[in-house]
Amino acid sequence: MESSPLGRVRVRRDNGWRIERYPQTVTGLDADSVEARQVALRHALDIAIRDGLDSVDLDTVRNAAGSALVSFPYQDREELMLALLDVVLARTLNAEREISAGRRERLELGDMLAAEMEGLRRQAPLVELIFTFYFARSDQLYRARIGEALSTYRRAFESALAGVELRRGMTPSAVSAIVIAFLQGAAVQIIRDPANFVPDEALAAVRALLPGGSEAR
């Protein structure tokens, strides 16, 4: 795996699952600047989850960090909020989970979806923040970033579908778009009505897209 603290991460696993994380967009920073940003963003994320996005500003983050933050690394709230959004996207829309292909040569769509849904369940507060960011402003400042992240996320699934037999007329691009729509719906239900979200029932709908359903089990 090749990585940098604030850069893009790309991985190609032996099982054929291509992972391409959404990048945090600031590069070329020295070690002290990277550490200061990580400290600020960790506290900003804690505040956002606990008290909501409206509670995140330079003063609240600076006060929460205290002596751990010698100098504040962001010039204004907008810069801080964009960096915070990048952190949330990088942690949630990365199409990477700790699962194994087992005896099979490659992971199948059902494995990926099941793992992603479990990831959504575990990271429900972060997923909720994505929705909050999306509706926080009427302009494209946050929405364009979220759209880019979803496009990268979709490409990961499209790559995983290469070589998988699909129903006649379906393409990896079309199925990956359906998968993303499915996961978005799952995210909403996990946030709004987690007690009634049944992953096996949800997976059955996607399984119907594949011949015989074998690839989605």
User: SS3 string of 96-133?
Assistant: CCCCCCCCCCCCCHHHHHHHHHHHHHHCHHHHHHHHHH
Q: Give me the mean pLDDT over the 71-90 stretch.
A: 91
Report the percent of the chain where pLDDT is more than 90.
Answer: 27
- For residue 100, what pLDDT band results from cuts at 50, 70 and 90? very low
Residue 98's Cβ-count burial label (10 Å; 0-12, 13-18, 19+) is exposed
The pLDDT of residue 135 is: 93
Placement of tokens 């990580």 in the chain: 38
190: closest CA among 96, 97, 123, 114? 123
Computed over every residue of the chain, the mean pLDDT equals 76
Whether the per-residue pLDDT at 114 is higher than 70: the answer is yes
Report the percent of the chain where pLDDT is more than 70.
Answer: 73
- Per-residue pLDDT of 145-181, as tens digits, reads 999 888 888 887 787 777 777 777 888 888 888 888 8
Domains of the chain plus CATH, in order, are 10-216 (1.10.357.10)
- For residue 118, what pLDDT band results from cuts at 50, 70 and 90? confident
Q: Which residue has the higher pLDDT, 137 or 113?
A: 137
57: closest CA among 34, 75, 35? 75
How far, in Å, CA of 117 to CA of 153, rounded? 14
Lowest mean pLDDT among 66-80, 97-111, 149-163, 178-192: 97-111
Tell me the C-alpha to C-alpha distance, in Å, between residue 168 and each of 67, 107, 171, 172, 211: 61, 22, 8, 12, 9
Whether the per-residue pLDDT at 77 is higher than 90: the answer is yes
